[in-house]
Structure 1
């Protein structure tokens, strides 16, 4: 049978959550599980997040799935709702919502949940410089007053545009703008208004801005969210191992090419192996000449680094095994990314980010939870 496999290690996610809590010991944690838990599978990761204070999702489909799986803590809709009827759904299902523009504000004012409803807590989005979602300064102050008068508990929130780069000037400006408005709200509206600034990168690079809630995403899954430190340097563990097996061997003669486009040409007779995985499974089609995999020789208990050569196809890719033993087994395991081959490295070779690789995995690989 075809052997592309995604193996999920929930213990690694629990470890990563503990790294978040260690870095932000005074803050509550809203763990991001949107996009099917960044491609890992929400059912696989929820048990590992037991010590989080809530989860963040992007849609009701994700919220309903979390509730169906038994999650009974806070569920936050990080884009809010898209209609008045969805606002009622949020109330009925005990979801808290981001409010980031005037229609959402009006729906909240038109239909106020009963006291102690989770939907009575709203995440009021302030656009401090990301320029996607959120009210401007005057708009957020006005919205806060209206929501408070209607009986809502408020968490002022924003989103960093460049927190992965600790030297970027915009982040300092965003923090300053946020703190200025928070001071006004504490003075003029309610001193108990809570605050949330930091995503994964912010948790690491801006420890003085952890506030009341942090919102980790990619670091929970074992990928580095910052530009100057690797996942291992941050003591993060990969939650996902993506692997396949060698399905055939081939010797390519000097001067012959491999695969679509014939973009790789052998400069000498080269022993190659075909691996049962391709972009149809989620491995990136476009990787540079530095891309590599790890082949495990189970007989000798050794691991070999092998270059990816030729163009990745839908169902297979080719690797150079000329430096591995001739007796390498036909079904040798091939690590595409995971604990010993960071997904961040693969993303760099593909000219993208780990988020995209993890989220766009297809349903074709076998899924295993350790």
Structure 2
């Protein structure tokens, strides 16, 4: 039986992934690197992403994920890398599971400290373990304030065979040219430095981690001992004024579909649901086999770009009309586009950051919302 031609597909360029990973090393030559592969590798397929990173020339010791289910999945790949769990554990059974599977949980709340101390004073004493102690330097999401986080660090340091990382997270480092972003981030940097200096009074050896992608790209003073690259690995920039290409990254995911119909629409006629788009002139309209059922954003408008790969070259155009579950319509202008031509929704030739900006979101969300109706192809 002949397999059907994929109507919509995502091409994942693992060479671009490893190029971006090496870019992190260029920016942080002396720091440990802990790649973030949460949310199914930012929608790219966690197993393939993890295996490719593990086989790359860039050295690292552990992955970072968000949920215990993700941590168990990555640990089960048998890649010889530890796994850091950002959410930490919620009860003793989850802590035991982390310890048994050599998962490194983040300690971000007082209840976790109580659970850990109650268990570990009598059990797992001979078991090597590592915790990441999160300090709330201003994001007010996870982490304890200075006095409590330092007390947590000191308590855990009393446990046998226990290594620790003191960490925090930048909340507003995506636009350092904006005074509010600059001032807020400088406050966070100062708070982290103060907490670190206090801990150094009792601990000569202190591993610290502060920077994720935004800090890696724009704030070398936040690199410290360990950096945590996330979206930049996948070719997107977290910075508001620069896209992935601007900061020297390569797109990893290219989402594509095909033209399945071409219609001649008269001036004054409308397109799609709600009759929300009116053609100003006689227009060739292409129907593309992708929609919000595939993860393409329903919020896309006539400002949202697409690229049609025609016989004579790439033709950049835009969405015309409302996004449906299975289809979008686009303006083909005076191009030589024909049925079955590839249409790039984002990726190589059309930066995901540009598309995200046009739909008032971020590339993270575009990547993570691609559904399982989309066929994945991996290039290595």
Give the TM-score category using the shorter length. over 0.9
Among 2, 20, 31, the residue aligned to 2:24: 20
**Deviation of 1:116 (Å):** 5.5
1:177 aligns with 2:196: no
SS of the residue 1:247 aligns to: strand
CA contact (8 A) 1:12 1:239 kept: yes
Deviations along 1:128-163, whole A, 9 cap, x unmatched? 100111111110121111111123322110011111
If the length of structure 2 is used for normalisation, what is the TM-score?
Answer: 0.93
CA contact (8 A) 1:8 1:44 kept: no
Among 62, 66, 73, the residue aligned to 1:54: 62
Among 361, 364, 370, the residue aligned to 2:373: 364
Q: Provide structure 2 residue ranges, at least 5 long, that are not aligned to the other structure.
A: none
Matches within 5 A, 1:283-298: 283-297=296-310
Among 94, 103, 106, the residue aligned to 1:98: 106
**Deviation of 1:69 (Å):** 2.2
CA contact (8 A) 1:75 1:95 kept: yes
Q: 1:268, 1:97 → 2: CA distance? A: 60
Matches within 5 A, 1:163-174: 163-167=173-177, 168=181, 169-174=183-188
1:309 aligns with 2:323: no
Q: 1:322, 1:209 → 2: CA distance? A: 48
Matches within 5 A, 1:211-230: 211-230=224-243
Q: 1:226, 1:80 → 2: CA distance? A: 28
**Deviation of 1:109 (Å):** 1.2
Runs of at least 4 residues of structure 1 off by over 3 A? 113-116
Q: 1:234, 1:220 → 2: CA distance? A: 12
CA contact (8 A) 2:305 2:316 kept: yes
SS of the residue 2:150 aligns to: helix
**Deviation of 1:115 (Å):** 4.1
1:9 corresponds in structure 2 to 13
Matches within 5 A, 1:95-244: 95-112=103-120, 113-115=124-126, 117=128, 120-151=129-160, 152-167=162-177, 168=181, 169-188=183-202, 190-244=203-257
Q: 1:115, 1:183 → 2: CA distance? A: 30
Deviations along 1:219-263, whole A, 9 cap, x unmatched? 000001112222112110111010000001111111110001111
Q: 1:19, 1:200 → 2: CA distance? A: 11
Deviations along 1:80-138, whole A, 9 cap, x unmatched? 11111000000010100100111111122122334462xx2111000010011111111
**Deviation of 1:204 (Å):** 1.2
**Deviation of 1:55 (Å):** 0.7
Among 322, 332, 336, the residue aligned to 2:333: 322
> CA RMSD, aligned part only?
1.3
**Deviation of 1:281 (Å):** 0.3
If the length of structure 1 is used for normalisation, what is the TM-score?
Answer: 0.95
